[in-house]
Amino acid sequence: VKKASLADIASALSVSKSLVSIVLNGRGDELNISPDTQKRVHAKAKELHYVPNVFAKGLKEGKSHTIGLLVSDISNEFYARLCKIIEGELRHSKYHLMICNSDEDVEREKELLETLINRSADGIIVSTGQKDKEMFKRIVENGTPVVFIDRDLPNSDVDYVGVDNIGGTEEVITHLAGLGYQRIGLITVGPTHVSTINDRITGYKNALKNTGLKYSGNLVKEVSADNLMDNVREAVKELLMSPNQVNAIFAINNHVASTCLEVFNEMKLKVPQDIALVCFDDSPVMRLSYPPVTVIAQPVDQIGVEASKLILNRINQKGKDVKTDIVKEVLDVELIIRRSCGDYLKNL
Amino acid sequence: VKKASLADIASALSVSKSLVSIVLNGRGDELNISPDTQKRVHAKAKELHYVPNVFAKGLKEGKSHTIGLLVSDISNEFYARLCKIIEGELRHSKYHLMICNSDEDVEREKELLETLINRSADGIIVSTGQKDKEMFKRIVENGTPVVFIDRDLPNSDVDYVGVDNIGGTEEVITHLAGLGYQRIGLITVGPTHVSTINDRITGYKNALKNTGLKYSGNLVKEVSADNLMDNVREAVKELLMSPNQVNAIFAINNHVASTCLEVFNEMKLKVPQDIALVCFDDSPVMRLSYPPVTVIAQPVDQIGVEASKLILNRINQKGKDVKTDIVKEVLDVELIIRRSCGDYLKNL
DNA sequence: ATGAAAGCGCTAACAA
DNA sequence: TTGTTAGCGCTTTCAT
């Protein structure tokens, strides 16, 4: 079953391919093609179920009409939701979305970026795990717009949408301190260069300083993402032991937080009596767990909407000589207080 | 910045394009190209950062080296995990994965299937929401292999991987009945033609019959997926009221189940004292909620692995005259008993 | 108002 | 062992 081509409809109508191409691309009026001819072309195209060959088009135009979305972990609710939102936003644009998952693997991310470039993606939205901006510099200079979501790269000439990770973390840690918690541990994932992680760690340190609590490297446990459960279990044990004896834990993200909850269950630790818990990112688990967890919630939908706008803007202004400044959108987060860190003094 | 083409490296080496093409496609030895020449070609290709143009290649070959994965709701943990697994399985194949999200919209799904076909996807893995198999029949007949995941379509000549939805549901409902629950409500989403949903409803009815409980249409609430929270709240209220007065609810999937939990919280209903809950699909929410929810767990990873195998097999056997029978893989599910349906008699 | 022809980068059949 | 050539389907410039 061979698909109809421009040539097929041209010969069926005894006109030239160029004529058909022009009409089908909506430039018929512009070039004074007679209305009658246009009508016949459209009719025949429909009759033959004509669909343009994307490869031929791409080869000729050097464009793919595709936007690549590269997320770092599609099984994380945060990114999954982002995919859904962005797909929805782009649905009625003339671009198709190609979703890719780097699975927090820097090499994999590079491969996927190469793929996207090879396929002439018209734009790329990415939550990057890269350490440096070199690759993106190259990509942007070669004419493919990029928008960073969630994670930024310092001094990169690339648009960005994310949230105030430092401020948000300061807020939640200060909240804990205000409730009387004095020994607050942090469980983070790494090693990593990811800006969100680093910013949250910074926010944690800032807040300790501002509230007069003392910071100690012992209170910060960096666990590896593989075998997360085992690593978190270990980290929790160490944090609870002397000399740390923390009475509250800040989990760097929803994934770590839910793993903490699993470990607490296992160890029969009561929240917040035995240990308080707060984290970055809201999710159904945080709302429905026992007790519900106090979180810093990100405006996920808004991030997706803004990122879609940014990439479309960049794509549209390409070629034109408008030069828009790099946009770094930092959205506000929201502290949602639940019951995982009841008043510490009352718990005594 | 212009990218290097076959011609560039050919002229730099004063050889022909075909020579270069052959060498770069690894057919050099086969065609007796001298090792020295091959070496020079590879060296020059690397030097020029040559990457084949996918459009030219696609145009020529009619293949895209891409497998499409079309899921019905990427923000659902089940599908998000499936994406992750399949991406991992295909990573080291020579195919790229293009993930798409139909968001449970049949029209959207059709559009995306068309897109995938236009882009000459070499194969398509899909969790379909279509009512009939016509579209897939056309796709398969035109030479693009398809594998259904999660949801099957009756009498379709298409490979499938999923689980025993009927048996699984029978098991959990029978479990409830065994604990003494006699009035078991069902909350499902719809209207829909999705096989998994229908099978679970069938399983529910079968189990009631087998355990001697009587079935009533009043016990089954079909809610619309938009405004799920409001609809579930309404459904729960009606199920609790006379004459239904259910003491247990079977939620058709994880999404409905977590919404039920939110509603129960809102209404201050205690699980399982006021109402027991069980559902299809396991997830962190079900493990970490209070109390943890008894579920039918699907072997998600295995579904992903099997689907990847199936699509690769179909793609590889294309053109060859091997004719393999249609495969319908129905995997086993696991009943995981937690505390959301304690012994009914003891609860009295 | 419409057509002819070149060329995008690649592969494969055929020549040499 | 390597080169020549045609053509995949489309857009676009230049003719008519």
Q: Which residue is nearest to nucleotide D12 (CA to C1')?
A: A18
Q: Which residue is nearest to nucleotide C13 (CA to C1')?
A: B18
Residues in chain A: 348
Q: In this predicted structure, what is the pLDDT of residue A348?
A: 46
Q: What is the mean pLDDT of residues B23-44?
A: 88
Average pLDDT, chain A: 93
Residues A290, B290: C-beta atoms closer than 8 Å: yes
Q: In this predicted structure, what is the pLDDT of residue A207?
A: 98
Q: What is the mean pLDDT of residues B200-205?
A: 98
* Pairing relationship of beta strands A294-297 and A334-336 according to DSSP bridges: antiparallel
Binding-face residues of A in 262-291 toward B, CB within 8 A: 262, 265, 284-285, 287-291
Q: What is the pLDDT of residues A99-131, one digit of tens each?
A: 999 999 999 999 999 999 989 999 999 999 999
Q: What is the pLDDT of residues B228-268, one digit of tens each?
A: 999 999 999 999 998 889 999 999 999 999 999 999 999 99
Q: In this predicted structure, what is the pLDDT of residue A61?
A: 87
Q: What is the pLDDT of residues B74-95, one digit of tens each?
A: 999 999 999 999 999 999 898 9
Q: What is the mean pLDDT of residues B198-225?
A: 96
Select the residue of A54, A83, A290 nearest B289 (Cβ to Cβ): A290
Residue among A60, A50, A68 nearest B58 (CA): A60
Task: Tell me which chain B residues have a C-beta less than 8 angstroms from the C-beta of A304.
Answer: none
Residue among A248, A245, A240 nearest A177 (CA): A248
A93 touches chain B (CB under 8 A): no
Any strand C atom closer than 7 Å to A2 CB:
no
Q: Which nucleotides of D are covered by protein (CB under 7 A)?
A: 1-13
A84, pLDDT greater than 60: yes
Residues B114, A51: C-beta atoms closer than 8 Å: yes
CA distance B326 to chain A (A): 22
CA distance A271 to chain B (A): 12
Crossing angle of helices A228-240 and A254-267, in 10° steps, is 70
CA distance A10 to chain B (A): 20
Q: In this predicted structure, what is the pLDDT of residue A321?
A: 65
Higher pLDDT, A61 or A297: A297
Residue among B24, B23, B20 nearest B11 (CA): B20
Higher pLDDT, A61 or A254: A254
Q: In this predicted structure, what is the pLDDT of residue B1?
A: 59
Residues in chain B: 348
Q: In this predicted structure, what is the pLDDT of residue A309?
A: 97
Q: How many CB pairs under 8 A join A and B?
A: 132
The C-alpha atoms of residue B101 and residue A305 are separated, in whole angstroms, by 16
Residues with CB under 7 A from strand D: A 2-3, 5-7, 17-18, 21-22, 24-25, 50, 52-53, 56-57, 59-61; B 14-19, 31-34, 37, 56, 59-60
∠ CA A123-A124-A130, nearest 5°, is: 145
A337 touches chain B (CB under 8 A): no
CA distance B189 to chain A (A): 19
Q: Which of B1, B53, B55, B269 to mutate to test the interface with A (most CBs of A within 10 A)?
A: B55
Residue A86: which residues within 8 A CB-CB, separation 6 or more? Answer: A69, A97, A125, A304, A307, A308
Residues 183-202 of B with CB under 7 A from strand C: none
- With beta carbons less than 8 A apart as the criterion, state whether A122 and A315 touch: yes
Measured CA to C1', the nucleotide nearest A10 is C3
B347, pLDDT greater than 60: no
Residue among B102, B100, B79 nearest B281 (CA): B79
Segment of A318-322, B118-122, B274-278 carrying the highest mean pLDDT: B274-278
Q: In this predicted structure, what is the pLDDT of residue A317?
A: 86
Q: In this predicted structure, what is the pLDDT of residue A66?
A: 94
Q: In this predicted structure, what is the pLDDT of residue B217?
A: 94
User: Full-prediction pTM beyond 0.75?
Assistant: yes
A139, pLDDT greater than 60: yes
Q: Which residue is nearest to nucleotide D4 (CA to C1')?
A: B16
The C-alpha atoms of residue B96 and residue A288 are separated, in whole angstroms, by 37
Q: What is the pLDDT of residues A259-285, one digit of tens each?
A: 999 999 999 999 999 999 999 999 999
Q: What is the mean pLDDT of residues A306-326?
A: 87
- Give the model's confidence band at B318: pLDDT under 50 very low, under 70 low, under 90 confident, else very high: confident
Q: What is the pLDDT of residues A24-49, one digit of tens each?
A: 988 888 888 888 889 999 999 999 88
